[in-house]
Amino acid sequence: MLAIASQTCFVIANTLMAHYARWIDFLGGDLRQIGNIMGAGAAIGLILRPWMAQWINRIGALKMWGVGYFVFSLASLANLGIHDISLAVYAVRAGIVLGAAIVFASSLTYVAQTAPEQYRTEAIGILGVGGFVGMLVGPLMGDLFLDGTSRNRTDFEFLFGVAAAANALPAVFLVFMRPPEHDIGPGSFRLREFFATVWRYWPGAILLVDLAFGLCMTAPFIFVASFVDEMPLEIPGVSVIGLFFGCYAGLAIFVRLVFRKLPDRLGPRQVLIMGMLVMSAGMFAYSLVSVRHSWLIVLPALLTGAGHSLMFHTMISLTIERFPTAVRGTASALALMMLDIGTFAGAPILGAIGASFGYAALFSATGLGCLLVASIYVCSHGRRDTAGKALLHLPK
């Protein structure tokens, strides 16, 4: 329960950053620069993930979890010293991404090391419920801070201050959580050790799914705030961003709790494929949203929230299943590293598509990318199953 509570508090802080595109806009940036800054932040996180994996393996998931809180808070507060679009924005955004990366990799590693093997997927899923609860609160809270189209610097300073302060309580929770029995793994901090471990336990085509998920996450956490502002989408008496994330996270929690046993019954791969199809449908549903029909924002919110709920815990579990307990820091970091690649490569490209052809094209391109990866993943496992059956029928 402490892990879930800790995750909830942190995700409140992290999803406040769903409004970071508005900060870039306030500083004078455009849609293309939003994509570039977000992509560059993910790139720094990507470059450092191999070392992060070694730190988790050697220092321990709980200690690194706390380090992640510290890095995220420090980077959030650093925004208070920025006054225009410069290299400082790129560096601070990278710090926020890095802090969040350490937190999520450490928490996933902790759960994978402490949960019984047969309940690993379910345990990761339940941890994610805490994240979805935080997602219900964070964006809505940020929308209250940045209410209206006329925003001043004090509004953003309050946003970043609250994001930093929100990490204090989850940091305290870590003190009372029991460490895993196999928290410290073999090896060193050298980069070569990371790649040797990955090569030894290579998880296969699931890494493409991790990448596609990162591409899909650019929609709610990078482009939706700008989409809402530029349309502009307005519903009298309702926060559109709050409505979006309320629907997104609300249905995600429902799906995760009600269908938490589904991976055991159908298999995690089948649930993952279902999630990818639902996620793709959600991306195409953005095309239905217009100024006259602002309320239709609930449709992509519900579909992508359900897709997120079905995809994340199954893809993480499938990524780490081949790795021994002691090096699951490497497995968690690898999964999130591929997620970062999806964001790093996707955000600038999607930003350019949106700037040239509009938001409908931006979201549709994301949906097509997810469908393509789903097809590759299905075909790769179909070939593996066929090869396995052939081996079973070889003459003895």
Q: What is the mean pLDDT of each run of 10 residues along the chain (396 residues)?
A: 82 84 86 80 77 80 89 93 90 89 86 78 82 78 72 87 87 83 57 85 93 92 84 83 87 90 89 96 95 92 95 92 82 85 84 90 96 93 49 39
| Separation of first and last alpha carbons in the chain | 51
Question: According to the model, what pLDDT value does residue 116 have?
Answer: 75
Q: Tokens 């700008």 identify what position?
A: 226
Query: What single-letter DSSP state applies at residue 235?
Result: B
Neighbours of 325 (CB within 10 A): 17
Question: According to the model, what pLDDT value does residue 392 have?
Answer: 34
Query: What single-letter DSSP state applies at residue 204?
Result: T
Question: According to the model, what pLDDT value does residue 232 have?
Answer: 84
d(CA 394, CA 396): 6
CB within 8 Å of 99: residues ≥ 6 apart: 68, 69, 70, 71, 72, 73, 74, 75
Q: What is the DSSP string of 60-81?
A: -HHHHHHHHHHHHHHHHHHGGG
Question: According to the model, what pLDDT value does residue 41 have?
Answer: 77
Crossing angle of helices 120-145 and 240-258, rounded to 10°: 170
Question: According to the model, what pLDDT value does residue 186 have?
Answer: 52
For residue 349 the two structure tokens come to: 């490209």
Asked whether the beta carbons of 39 and 161 are under 8 A apart, the reply is no
Question: Angle CA(225)–CA(249)–CA(125) in degrees, nearest 5?
Answer: 130
d(CA 327, CA 388): 28
CB within 8 Å of 385: residues ≥ 6 apart: none
Q: What is the DSSP string of 292-333?
A: TTGGGGHHHHHHHHHHHHHHHHHHHHHHHTTS-GGGHHHHHH
Question: According to the model, what pLDDT value does residue 182 have?
Answer: 58
d(CA 356, CA 378): 33
> What pTM was computed for the model?
0.77
Side-chain half-sphere CA neighbours of 232 within 13 A:
9
Question: According to the model, what pLDDT value does residue 387 have?
Answer: 39
